[in-house]
Each structure stands twice: as structure tokens, then as C-alpha cells.
Amino acid sequence: MADTTAARSRLIEIVHCRSFSTGGETMLVSGRSTNYYFNMKPTILDAEGGYLIATLILDALEGSDVEWVGGLEMGAVPLAVAVAVASQIRGWPLRAFFVRKQAKEHGTRKLIEGLAPEESLKGKRVVVLEDVTTTGGSAMKAIEALQAEGAIIDRVITVVDRLEGATEAFKAKGIPFFALLTATDFR
């Protein structure tokens, strides 16, 4: 998309309508309580919302040498698929993966899914995706699994950063972090 500002503005409208709520207290994965909440699945799974997110992520990756995109299940799964499909359309195909919260107890017993039997992430540059980031804990869990497989973490990209510590957590680990949107876009 040629106009990143217009795409970003339209994405804010969609998130506001489909995925943002205020009011009663909600418990976050981080253990924190909040009076505003982002359920990004309705936006990510919306045709226009998913397209805009994938486009903005690819714009942010322009010129990089990443090969794979993905992150911790569940939020990263539709993001990774949308980015992979959009990358193919752009002529720069990226592969998608996801990290399970725990390995399956049957079948292949894999923690990381999306790789063919002979594929490995060893030495591959990967981008970790998140739908909403608070402290960065979910992305860090994915990063640990990916690094154990030998992947090189290029950066973390989130759709919405709640601005509650993730930037500092990733900086402390030397991992670049980029947010398409932040909580201030909704206040």
C-alpha cells in the first residue's frame, strides 16, 4: 500500500469498531488488570483489517532479509498467515510458523509448527508477531523456543502495544521492537 498513513488511520478505525472496549475490569495474560481491552481477533480475521495489518507489517519489513514470520499461538497464527499470503502477492514470499504454548502429547510432538519434515529454523532470520503486547511475556516465550531451535530473532512486531513495559523488556534483550499502533491511538 503506497500510503502507510492512510492504511494506519483506517486500521485504527477498524480496531476501534471491532476490537477495542472500555469499561469493567479485565484480567490480561500478563496478570495485570485493565479497564480497556483489545480483542484483536475480530480485526485480524476481518478481510480489510487483516489485509491492512499484513500490508503494514510488510512495509515495516521492507528491505530486510527475514525468511519466516510467526509467534505464539493463538494471536500470532492468523497474523502469520495473513503476512505470508500478502508477501507472496508482493513477490517476496515469507514462510509462516507458530509456536505452541506446549508441545503436543501426540503426533509429531512439535513445539514449532509450519516447517516441512526436512526444514529447520537454525540460522534463519525470523520475525515474531503479536496481536497485542503488554509486557512482552508471550513474545519472549516464543523467542525462547525459537532460539532453542537456532533461529535468529530479527525483531518483534505487534499490532498494538499497550505501552506497559514491552519496549523496555525487548530492549534489555537486544531485540528490536516495533508497534503498528499503540494504546495512545485509542485514548
Residue 187 reports pLDDT greater than 90: no
Convert the pLDDT of each residue in 120-178 to its tens digit. 999 999 999 999 999 999 999 999 999 999 999 999 999 999 999 999 999 999 999 99
Convert the pLDDT of each residue in 45-83 to its tens digit. 999 999 999 999 999 999 999 999 999 988 899 999 999
Give me the helices (H) in the chain, please: 4-18, 41-44, 47-61, 76-90, 137-148, 166-172
Residue 31 reports pLDDT greater than 80: no
pLDDT at 1: 43
Q: Cα(21)–Cα(186) distance, rounded to whole angstroms?
A: 10
Domain that holds residue 62: 4-186
* Number of domains the chain contains: 1
CATH code: domain of residue 181: 3.40.50.2020
Q: Cα(162)–Cα(171) distance, rounded to whole angstroms?
A: 16
Q: Which of 16, 15, 18, 37 is nearest to 28 (CA)?
A: 37
Helix (H, G, I), strand (E, B) or coil at 105: coil
pLDDT at 105: 60
Q: How far apart are the first and last CA of the chain?
A: 26
